[in-house]
A and B are shown apart, each in its own frame.
With several copies, the nearest count.
Chain A
């Protein structure tokens, strides 16, 4: 097995520094000089070290894992589990507390579908919901952390209760406290909103949840790639994130859960490798993580995911967070500087993640995005999988610029300049 940490990181053979230095490690930017890639909240580019780690593995070390006894299988299994250990360490989890999934959406579904199974009598009753029970989400959630809970509620008779958001799209702890009751069984919320950039007070939410014995499910999609996150210290019960948003590949995500919970949650998706004894009548399941990993896993993607956290660790998550704090403020200020453009979420100056969703008065988000695209600025337009939130904002779609470890202030400036030309082009400014 090739040790991906020993690969050099691009030009420099020292730890990369966020911004222009790190940028040199990502081949995408060499292929697109002059492009400002401000869509990392949707998906991240991958550095050479990640692409190469997977390539080396696939070219010479690939085999089935966890099944059979061949040497090839042994080596591949080692690489696969080594990657799990890296990802676990990266988020402050034990190895058995990281389950590979298809993506973060799948991870959230593993929890919600497992609870549905428990509610149908197929597993630990502590996860069973019924009439009168309540599931709490915020009105700002991504569809991935909303629809699975709607479906769980519909299947079990539980009620979905929503923490409201204000006109800026923000919810508060007081708003949460108002809806939590002794019947609250689950509180599901995003660590960082992919639309507003709000950073949730996780520890306070966990305290509120514990007060009523509710489980906490953290959508960590937009936090784990951008901030140092210690899930054990935060105290959440479950969390979900995706490799493709953090310098890693598509095709793999992770579910974090406290080991004693994961060992008890019924696996909704079943099949080979996840089991101990299978008869024609019934199956018994392994402890976590294997119980949830039915079928052939995303083996080479796991290796690449390991290389991605190696990369981010080499940069240092504190450095990433500091860099992105600067970029986040610069994005907010850029929007504030453009007449007719309004920022969603916390205003410039307030704490926020390195993303800015914008409403340009009189110009539809698709048209804004098209104009920016023409100016070499890749952004995301749409409802960002948060239709209910956009309904509150009063628009069908916004234009979002978002940053990552490789984003530079020059790109923010390119964004500001392009944004300032939008209304003139579409003939809506004075």
Chain B
């Protein structure tokens, strides 16, 4: 499997084509817009938090297959998670993405482990992180609220 095929796994391309969690973020109380200035990719992600749990999540945006599939996989993984669990998962995901492919993901990352190969491509790290950074901002806002 070439680096390219490892990066664009079936799973990732499928999520990019039929993304989960896409919807109107503005129906949720906490929304955040995140932009990748180098390519113009952007995402707006909204969440509702009930009793410390992400009880609702929707995102909208446009971008490359890495940023879109990452948003989709993250929605699957963290929709319904507790805030603490979500924040810990985001932290681990970030650590993996910063590792240049050297970090071995734990079970916690689920399908998001597929981005381990993307981490080898420094310039694509931001793509994969886009949705996660937006969710992190929403969670912090909900915590402060």
Binding site for B on A (CB under 8 A): 66-71, 73-75, 77-78, 275-277, 286, 364-367, 370-371, 374, 381-383, 387, 390, 396-397, 425-427
Is A74 touching B39 in the complex (CB atoms < 8 A)? no
Is B38 touching A365 in the complex (CB atoms < 8 A)? no
Give every chain A residue within 8 A of B62 (Cβ-Cβ). 396
Give every chain B residue within 8 A of A68 (Cβ-Cβ). 38, 123
Give every chain A residue within 8 A of B38 (Cβ-Cβ). 66-69, 382
If A69-B123, A427-B17 touch, whether A370 touches B35 (CB-CB below 8 Å) is: no
Give every chain A residue within 8 A of B8 (Cβ-Cβ). 367, 370, 425-426
In the assembled complex, 24 residue pairs joining A and B whose CB atoms fall closer than 8 Å, in A order, are: A69-B123, A73-B123, A75-B122, A77-B122, A78-B122, A275-B37, A276-B35, A364-B41, A365-B39, A366-B39, A366-B41, A367-B64, A367-B65, A370-B121, A374-B2, A382-B38, A383-B39, A383-B40, A387-B40, A396-B40, A396-B63, A425-B4, A427-B13, A427-B17
**Whole-angstrom CA separation of A320 from B114 in the bound complex:** 46
Is B66 touching A367 in the complex (CB atoms < 8 A)? yes
Q: State whether the Cβ of B124 lies closer than 8 Å to any Cβ in chain A.
A: yes
**Whole-angstrom CA separation of A77 from B40 in the bound complex:** 19
Binding site for A on B (CB under 8 A): 2-4, 7-8, 13, 17, 35, 37-41, 62-66, 121-124, 127
Per CB-CB distance, the 10 closest pairs between chain A and chain B, nearest first, are: A396-B40, A74-B122, A366-B64, A374-B4, A364-B64, A69-B123, A276-B37, A74-B123, A397-B39, A382-B39
Q: Among B40, B63, B123, B127, point to the contact of A70 (Cβ < 8 A).
A: B123
Residue of A at shortest CB range from B42? A396
Interface centre among B3, B17, B65 (most CB of A within 10 A): B65
**Whole-angstrom CA separation of A66 from B38 in the bound complex:** 8
If A77-B123, A78-B122 touch, whether A381 touches B39 (CB-CB below 8 Å) is: yes
Give every chain B residue within 8 A of A74 (Cβ-Cβ). 121-123
**Whole-angstrom CA separation of A367 from B121 in the bound complex:** 12
Residue of A at shortest CB range from B17? A427
Give every chain A residue within 8 A of B4 (Cβ-Cβ). 370-371, 374, 425
Is B121 touching A69 in the complex (CB atoms < 8 A)? yes
Question: Closest Cβ of chain A: how far from B97's Cβ, in Å?
Answer: 13
Is B40 touching A364 in the complex (CB atoms < 8 A)? no
Question: Closest Cβ of chain A: how far from B114's Cβ, in Å?
Answer: 15
